Structure formats: structure tokens, C-alpha cells
Chain A
Amino acid sequence: MRAPLSWIQDFTPLTADPTEIADALNQLGLEVDDIDQPGKEINGVIAARILNVVPHPDADKIRLADIDFGDGQLRVVCGAPNIEAGMVVPFAQVGAVLPGDFRITKRKIRGVVSEGMLCSSKELGLGDDHSGILCLPDHAELGRDVREILGLDDTVFELSITPNRPDAMGITGVARDLAAHFGLPFSIPTAPPGIVGERIDDVSVVIDAPDQCPRFVARATAVTLGPSPQWLQRRLTLAGMRPISNVVDVTNYILLERCRPLHAFDLGRLAGRGIIVRRAVDGESITTLDGVVRSLLATDLLVCDALGAPQAIAGIMGGRDSEVDDTTTEVLIESAYFEPSGVAKTSKRLGLRSEASARFERGIDPNGTAEGADAAVALLAQVAGGVAHGTTIDIYPSPVARPRITVRTARVNSILGTDLDAATVRSLIEPLGIMPEGNGDTFTAECPTWRPDVVREIDVIEEVARRHGLNNIRRTVASAPAGTVGRLTAQQRDRRKAADVLVGAGLSEAITLPLVSNNDLERVGAAVDAVVRVSNPLRAEESVLRTSMRPGLLAAVARNAARGNADVALFEQGTVFMPPLEKSLLPHEKTFIAGVRSGMRRESPRRSDRIADVGDAIDDVRAVANTLRLASFEIVASQINGWHPGRCATVLVDGQTVGAVGEFDRAVCDAFGIASTVVGFEIDLDALISARRLDNRFRSVSVYPPANIDLAFVVEQTVSAADIAATLRRVGGELLESIRLFDSFRSEQLGADKVSLAFALRFRAVDRTLTEAEIAELHAACIASVQESHPAVLR
């Protein structure tokens, strides 16, 4: 919404300077996006009359003009074809500055000195017209600054109007707020009656859908089509609208001024000289003013001619068939009130927004309808030779009453934290047209229908706050009640711990898009049948909710690799979305944690770097499990789609699968364009967090000497180290303080399908030193059990 200051001043005698006004507008909630001063860049350009035009002695297309600029006469060189004696034109004196910081100097053109320059519209920054010198009004005072003549000395406030304030989508609404703020009078002058002719109305209006069209006002008038006068064109231009013709410009003028959308039908082209407002029939269509054929539904509202042919989509756009053009001699002005949600629905469905629909869908004043039509007729009499028909048709079966609201001063203060008395509250709202009745602390306020957002007590309280000034309210602090402890939940703390331990392990946190494509999920081997889809995605790449973070992380590895970042270690913690559980409407959301490593692990200079391998991924998972102190945690080799069949394991917690760890399948990496090996893991973090934890009771620490026993077994490669360790743990019982796999290798001597596993066992009793005999017995029992339970022999 662009509000020119001069237009605001039609309604209130505002004298504050533009920055002060902008500040007031912001304080009032009419946010100023920009302050536009269109003439700011024009300096030293004045009106001058051309006295005489003579040819240039040395050039065909350039002429010399003698001009009178009020204080004297000069000769300038000019190349424009349209100059002639008698014209009043913009004259840039020597020393003048034009837009683009173009400074005018005295210069010689083909041997003749030019004492300045005559300007086109384009040179003044007023438009693209560069075909000739701009023609100023004949009566313009010579020597006067063209900014004043052209109205460029104006200031235009560019406002962002919130959807609750349709009234402020009109100049009068903005002016009313400003008048209240500055304590100035405010009035909307009653339109002069215009020129009313002899003719009695023969026009008919029928409303078939009063729920969607509660009011319809029509006035007919004879007009003479032509361009609008300069002042009107200038105001429309300043407000951001293109002048079209006097009739159309008048409807736009009233729309901008009063937030009163009007439509002018060519009455001669309205069959039956009448209007029927009705709902459309499914499949019906209309060609709108923009030349587009719009197909309609039964919920859309149409303004039709008396024979029922569609002439406008109500409140949105007129139809081509009854469009006003050069041949128009008689128009029907529609000033209606259409129900907001119907207009919004049709406008949204058709993707067709207009200045009118933007206002209707927010709710205009149903009670200013006739006044709007009258103002238009009066203005048409002034600028389009309008001679109006004698009567006004106004169909308004159920007039909308002004809401009457009980306002409690105590409530105002308890919501705002203020200490205002009732008289002050009343004095704050009255200038907004909210009329208080009575003198008590509790009083009734009658609210204007141009403010559809003021229908409850809280709405009035907001008006009080706005007028009082939010920044004048004393600031206090709401503290949580005594005894309340503000802290993260155990789950929230555990999520942080899991992330922190991975950061410590060398992974950096990535954030990848939770919107993926089918193809992304297919590429990592995830199922694509059980997914939740977006019904209106902008791009196919963002059309499915992720069920896995692997696509995002692998894409990040690929992007890094493409930029030469070969060594990557990333993790992500976030939501994945599974289809709804039974009886639930919403997707089943889970918090996952996933990591990837690719490239080298950089070691210190004395140790050689090495390629991150599946062991690193397992260490990462174990780090998370250990930091959460899980009671039961297993990694069991298995085959999972998308992972290397021989280097992948299921992660089990309390016997339940919670995720996978391993090396990504070569085909998966290839699909993402990653040449190197990528290892990683993905686990359901919430499942880990809700799993059983290690008993946290204190266990005494033995002070007696330990017995260390190293045992190496040669085992079939099908046997897992975890199984052997489990056997050793079982045999060691309580005396086994710790066990660690410290070596694992294959060699030709061992045989192709054999592997050597070496464990360091430490035995210790809490209450005594173990005897040699006890140690020997344990040693033997460990060897015997492993050899009995597994295809293993002591090395």
C-alpha cells in the first residue's frame, strides 16, 4: 500500500515531517517499508515557455529554442522533435541536477552554446517516455520548480498492512490513525452530489445469493470517456497504479482512497440493462479483463447481466464483455459487499488476485457502500462529464449493525499491565471511531464496521495498547513460580550427550534436508512403499519425508568430495518420518542419529594416516552406547539392503534391532557419485535413550594385585570374537575384572579360513589376593571352555 502524504492531508491537517510521520505509522502498527520521495533527485528544474524555435545553423535534427523562464530569457539547444513556440516545458538550468546525479553545465553543441536543457519525462525519472520534451500545463507559473507543478514534492509512505486492517488499505484509514496519533481533526468530506440528470433509473438488480453478497449498490451515469486530468493521474501513479481512462481511474481512485472496490460496467453492453448476482454453475466460464478464460465452480460468485451472462467474478475481476472502452457512453457503477471467505476461496483457486479481491477477502465496510458509489459519481461528474441517473439502487436486506462491546477498564489494565483510568481509555479509542457510551469504569463501546478486527473486548484493548504506545508500557518480568526448576528432560540431556560424544570422536554435525525424493531413498536401499509424501511439493527432489538420514549424509559426502574435501566425518541428529501408527493421523516421528566417515583418518605425523574403515563406524556407535551406559548392546553381523553384505551389522539393544552399522554398498556410493569407501551407522536414538541402562550402584574397587592372563586362539573365521569373549566372560565370572581383544590377524601359517584372536584377561578378587592355584584353575577353565564351545584351539 502506497500512501502519498498529500492525499492523507485531504483528510487531516498533518504538518509533521516525513520521518516523524513514518515513526508514528510504525508505532501504530502500519509498518513503513520505505519512504519514497520521487522528486528528491530533481534539483533546479523550472517551468519555462518556448518563445521561438529556430533551426541550428550546422545541424538538421537539432534546433534552438528561445525560452522565458520568468526571471529572464535564454537560448538552449534541443534535439526533441515536439517543441514549438508557446509550449511550457521543464527547463534544467545550468547547475541543475537530474536523476542519476546528472549535472547540467553550459556546453557547446555543434558550435552553439546551450544555456541549459529542456527535459523529457525520462530525463526527469518520471517514466520511459523519451520521444519528446514533457509538456507542462499551459497555466504553469514560469520559473516555478517543476517538482511543485508535477506534484513530485510529495512523500509516499510504502506500508505493509497486516491482514487484520483492511481499513488501512485505503488512504482514509491511514489518515484516521495518524489524526488520532497527532491529536488532529479527521473528516471524510461528503461527496458533492455530482450532476444528476433527468433520467429515472431503469436498471434492475437481483441478488440470488444474499449469503455471499449481503449488499449491492448500483448507480448509473452517462460519461464521456477520455484521459483523466493530470492531478488524478498523478495521484494514481504515486500510489502505484497506472492511469487508464477517466472512468477506470475514478473507480481505482475511490478504491485507494476509501478501501472501496468498485466496478464500472459498460451499461450499453449489459444485456437487459440489469444485474443478477448468482453462484456459478460448475463448468461455466468467463473471459476476464486480462483476456484469460476462467472456468468456474458452483461455489464461485458471479455478477451477471439481466439475462444471466457472467460479466464479472464477484469482488475479483470484471469480464471482458462489458469492459469500459472508447465507445462507452453510459456506465453502471457497482459498489457491493461480498462475503470475505468466498472471495478468498475463489481468488486462491483461480490464482487470481486483484486490488479489489485483496480488500474484499480481508473484509471491507458493508456500511460505506452507498457513499462509495456516490463519491464515484461525483468524481465522474468532475472528470468524465458524468451525468448520473436520478436514483440509487441499494439492496441490503440485513444491515450489519455496529458491534457493541462491554469494555472493563480493569481488564484493560490487567492485560496490558497499565494503570489507565476509564476516561483515558475512552479518549484513546474515540478518535479511532470506537464510540464509548457512559462514564463508568465499565462502559459500552460501539465499534465501526470498517474495523472488522474490532468485535471483542480484547480487540478494543489492543486499540488502547496501540494508541497508548507499546513502548510506554512499564516492563516487568514474569518469573516461573517459586519452586519450579527449569531444566532439560532426561531425554533432551541424553540427545545432547549422544551428539557431544560423536563430536569428541571427530565427527562434525551436519543438517540435511528432511525432504527427499523417492529416488534418494531407493539409492540408499531404503523402502519406498512405506513413506509419507508431500501432496504439493515445489520440486520432486523435496516430495517425500525422509525415513532415513543416509541420503542426506551421502549427498553431503559427495558434495564435499566434489569440492576436494576427501576426508569427511559427519553426523546428524534429527527427525525421520514413518507412516502413521494405527489409529493415528500424523506420521510416526522418530529421532535418529546417523554418521558417515570417508577418506583418511589423519593421525599425528609419527603415525601413518589410514583410511577410515568399518571399525571406526563401530567405534562411533559404541561411543554413543557407552556414553548412554546401555545395559545391553550388541552388534550382530547381518545383511541389510544398501550395505556391504560382508561388512554390515545390526545394532541390537535389549534384543531389539535399533539400527545398522557398516560399510556402504559400492552400488550405493556409485549412485551418489562417491568413488571412495564410506562407512557409517544409523540408529534410532530415542530407542537407545529409552533402553535399559547399566545399574549405577557403586561396585567396590579391589585393592589386591591383579592376575593378567593373555590367551590367543586360532578359530574358524565363521566364529565371531564376540562369541569367544562371551564364553570367557561366562567362565571368568565375578573374578574377571576386564577383558579386551588386543590382537586379531590372519596368515598363511594359520590357514585360509582361520583367524587368530588374542584376549587380555585381568582377574582380581575384591577381598583377597588370588592364589597361584586359583589362577591356574581359571587359566585352564578359560582354555577348556573356549575349545569345547567353539571350533577354536589355543595358539
Chain B
Amino acid sequence: MNADELIERAAEMAELAESGANRATSVAQLGEIERDVVRGSLSDIKKHIKDVDGSDKARVGQALSAAEARAKAALEVRRIDLESEARAATVEAERLDLTALGTGYGVGHLHPVTQVWRELEDIFCGLGYEVFYGPEAEDDWHNFEALNFPPGHPARAMQDTLYLELGDAEQVLLRTHTSPCQIRLLETQAPPIYAVMPGRTFRRDTMDARHSPVFHQIEALVVDRDITMGDLMGTIDVFFRALFGDSIDARFLPSYFPFTEPSAELGVSCPFCDRSGCRTCSNTGWIELGGCGMVDPNVFTAVDLDPEEWSGFAFGFGIDRIPLLRNEIDTLHTLLWDNDVRFLSQF
């Protein structure tokens, strides 16, 4: 074949590869075309270059390269198309209804009381307080006497007590408040003390919507030099804002607890109506939460601390009250002891 024939043949082969590539429906077919045309026919043509005139060699060579490039390009373009079609088909075949999957592997729930309990601990840790748990069964000394409730004291009658069949009659009891933890701390640690004491407490009460024989309280105690009633009230402000939000105010009304003096009832401005009056605060704008006061000198004396050297404050309130208010839970009995999984899984 002469040079022109070879050039024409190369062009034909390139066209053949192009049309074949366009018709191909699989990468395998492209492989066949590559084998037959690029490595077959075009290679054959290359073998004939040596037979043409020297002056035409370059021309034929160029034509051959161009033809080979055209064929390869056509095959490559088609290969990309075919691969993306194949990928699309695979994707379509693998498509899943994600709403029918991932329905959750059923993580459990912490009890709402525990959630609040932890939140309270964390706030106090943030204020630099330690967290202390005392025993739930106590002796008369820690629960009453060291807290300035001498035997026969009328304030004892305010706390219906469950006694245990241990020791002498009415010597061992289930703690009626978390305050005995104050005594335990003061007996074992030298001041300064900055501590918070959450715990379970007991009263001789029948379970109903608002009462429970077992409930939860938290108590804070600070003993240091020069602690004042102003410190008590300011600290409570800071704490309640952390718990309920920045717009909260704390209110203090004089009251009586044997182990603090001066003593006060502790209320917060209603976080639900911003003090304008609602059902939760019985339209008063305030919610009574607990009690507080300056540690009574008799308590310091009971634990061998000098009340002239040390002063301190304590405050406490019911933990259960917080989820009852926050989550608008109707009764204490729903919150505690019922343990219906439909209730627990709401929190």
C-alpha cells in the first residue's frame, strides 16, 4: 500500500473505533475494540511504514498517530460514560428507604430526679464546692441533737420520724433531712468547708399526690471566717440563677430552724410567669423552695468549733420539687416509685 492508502486506512480505522465505541454497551466491548483496532489494525498499518518512500514516512507516521489518538480518545470518553452509567445503576440498585432503617437502638433514660440531682451537683462544683453523701440511716445525735434539737424539742414534732429497731428506743432513725451531713462533715473536716450534700430523706408519711415517705433533698454548707447573712443570700441568688435563669430573684422571709440563726424561708421568683402570677406559684409570683440560715453557735459547739472564730451558712431544699415544677409533673407519686417506662422515657 502506498502512503495515501495507508493514511486513508488509518483514518478509516479511527472512524471504526469511534463508531464502535459509541455503540459499545460495556467496558468489555471497549476492550475488544481497543484490541482489534488500536493494537490490531493500526499496529498492522505501522508495520507498512517501512515500505513507503522516505519522504512520505513522516506524513504517514503523523496520520497514524492522529488516528490512534482519535481512537483512544473515543474509547476513553465512552469508558467514562459507561462507568458512570454503571455506577448510577448500582446506586439505584442499592438505594434504601432510610426511614425504614435507623429506628434507634433504644438508649435508656436517666431518671428525672437523677438528672436534676446531677445538675445541682455540677452547679455547686462550678462554685468550688465539694459533694458529700452521708448515711441514710442516722443516729439521734447527728439528725437531731447536734443540730440543736434537744430531746423533747417542739421542732422534733414537725418531722415525723421513722425509727429503726437498733440500739436504744428512738436512737437510730432514717434521716429526716440531709442536715446531719453537716455534722458529719464538721466532725471529720477542718474548716474552711464549702460543700453540697444531696441525698435521700425519710418521713413517716403516707404516699399521696404531695407526700412520700421517701424523698430527696440537697443541702449546702459553708463554714469559713467572716461568713455573713449577706453571703448566704448572694450565694443563693447566684445558685438559683444558674439553675433557673438570669432573671430569677431569691426572696427571704424570717423563719425558724433549730440549727440556723437567723433563719429564713427561701423562695424564688416564679420562673414560669416571671412573677406575674400563674397556677404554679398560686398567683403569688413566688415559689417557696426551702430553708436557710446562719449556722447556729450551738451547732459549732456540738462539733467543738469556736463560734467566735468560725461562722457559716446552710441552705437546703427538696430536689423532687424541681422536676415537678419544671416538667409540670402532676404528682409526687408519678415522679417517684411508679417507674412506668412510658414516664421514664419522656426525660
Contacts and interface: CB of A to CB of B under 8 A. Distances in A.
A537 B162 contact: yes
A362 interface: yes
A478 B222 contact: yes
Contacts of B206: 538-539
Given A29-B253, A514-B200, A534-B162, A414 B311 contact: yes
Contacts of A479: 127-128
A27 B253 CA distance: 6
B127 A509 contact: no
Given A513-B214, A534-B164, A542-B213, A473 B137 contact: no
Nearest to A483: B128
B28 interface: no
Contacts, number: 267
A29 B254 contact: yes
A486 interface: yes
Interface residues of B, number: 94
B104 to A, nearest CB: 9
Nearest to B169: A535
B194 to A, nearest CB: 4
Interface in B314-347: 336-342, 344-345
A15 to B, nearest CB: 24
Given A478-B224, A478-B231, A577-B137, A509 B154 contact: no
A185 B102 CA distance: 77
Interface stretch (A162-170, A193-201, A207-215, A325-333): A162-170
A503 B108 contact: yes
A668 interface: no
Interface in B121-149: 121, 124-131, 133, 135-139
Interface stretch (A374-382, A458-466, A740-748): A458-466
B340 A604 contact: no
B203 to A, nearest CB: 10
Given A473-B233, A480-B194, A585-B171, A511 B340 contact: no
Interface stretch (A37-45, A312-320, A568-576): A568-576
Contacts of A567: 341
Interface in A462-514: 462, 465-466, 470-471, 473-481, 484-489, 492, 496, 499-500, 502-514
B297 A514 contact: no
Contacts of B40: none
A542 B337 CA distance: 13
A580 to B, nearest CB: 7
B128 A458 contact: no
Interface string A308-352: 000000000000000000000000000000001100110010000
A507 B109 CA distance: 7
A145 interface: no
Interface string B238-270: 100000000000011111100001111100000
Contacts of B339: 510-512, 556, 559-560, 570
Contact of B158 (A27, A163, A474, A539): A163
Nearest to A499: B110
Given A505-B108, A536-B204, A565-B341, A486 B194 contact: yes
B68 interface: no
B157 A348 contact: yes
Interface string A432-467: 000000000000000000000100101101100110
Given A506-B105, A508-B110, A515-B202, 15 more contacts: A31-B255, A417-B229, A462-B254, A462-B263, A478-B234, A481-B224, A484-B128, A510-B339, A514-B200, A545-B174, A565-B341, A568-B341, A570-B341, A585-B172, A604-B102
13 contacts: A29-B256, A163-B154, A478-B235, A486-B126, A489-B130, A509-B111, A513-B213, A534-B162, A559-B340, A575-B136, A585-B172, A586-B138, A589-B137
Nearest 3 pairs of A and B residues by beta carbon: A417-B230, A29-B254, A480-B128
